Amino acid sequence: MKTKNLAMGLWLACALCLSSVAAFAQDATAARTEDVSSLDGLMRAYYDVVSGGPNVARDVQRDLSLHHPDAALFIQSRNAKKESVLKHFTVQEYHANSKAFFDSGFFENEIKREVKQFGHSIQVWSTYEMRKTLDGPVIGRGINNLMLSFDGKRYWILAETWDNETKDHPIP
């Protein structure tokens, strides 16, 4: 009887794992291999999906393909009292809330990267510059803080935060 119960328990555990993998695969947006097979490719795509001229639609599907389906974006901003406020968004919510900003033209490019890795866990601090046009003057700088995972085949963005440089908070 114990053997039969153990076999049934193992079968149920395997069935749950397989259904979780199937559900995850259905949620995941197909990614370009060049975007997710290397850290450099992921970071290049990460900046590409938010950059573009005025009224140029951003590739939300490509951005979704870089992020784990349960990824969270946390945006540091400041309220009218100049106090730090942390806002949580999904990738879709971020794009919806940023459309007006993007529609005026926005280009972001990486100028420095610091990476720490342990096993499959990767922490990336990516310093960036912002411009309104591709070759225009720098209008701001900041740091993107990304938590990544490498599953042996591809990189996933699990979570991210960023903060823009200010007079009181210069880039280190």
Q: Domain limits of the chain?
A: 1-30, 32-164
55 — phi, psi (to 5°)? 60, 25
Q: Distance (Å, rounded) from C-alpha 73 to C-alpha 25?
A: 21
pTM of the model: 0.81
What count of other Cβ atoms lies within 10 Å of the Cβ of residue 126? 21
Domain formed by 32-164, architecture = Roll (3.10)
Confidence at residue 1, expressed as pLDDT on a 0 to 100 scale: 54
Confidence at residue 15, expressed as pLDDT on a 0 to 100 scale: 40
Q: Do the beta carbons of residue 161 and residue 125 sit within 8 Å?
A: no
Residue with tokens 């993007």: 102
Confidence at residue 17, expressed as pLDDT on a 0 to 100 scale: 41
In a 10 Å sphere around its CB, with 0-12 CB exposed, 13-18 middle and 19+ buried, how is residue 63 labelled? buried
Confidence at residue 28, expressed as pLDDT on a 0 to 100 scale: 56
Q: What is the pLDDT along the chain (172 residues), one digit of tens a residue?
A: 554 544 444 343 444 343 344 344 434 579 999 999 999 999 999 999 999 999 999 999 999 999 999 999 998 888 999 888 899 999 999 999 999 999 999 999 999 999 999 999 999 999 999 999 999 999 999 999 999 999 999 999 999 999 999 998 899 9
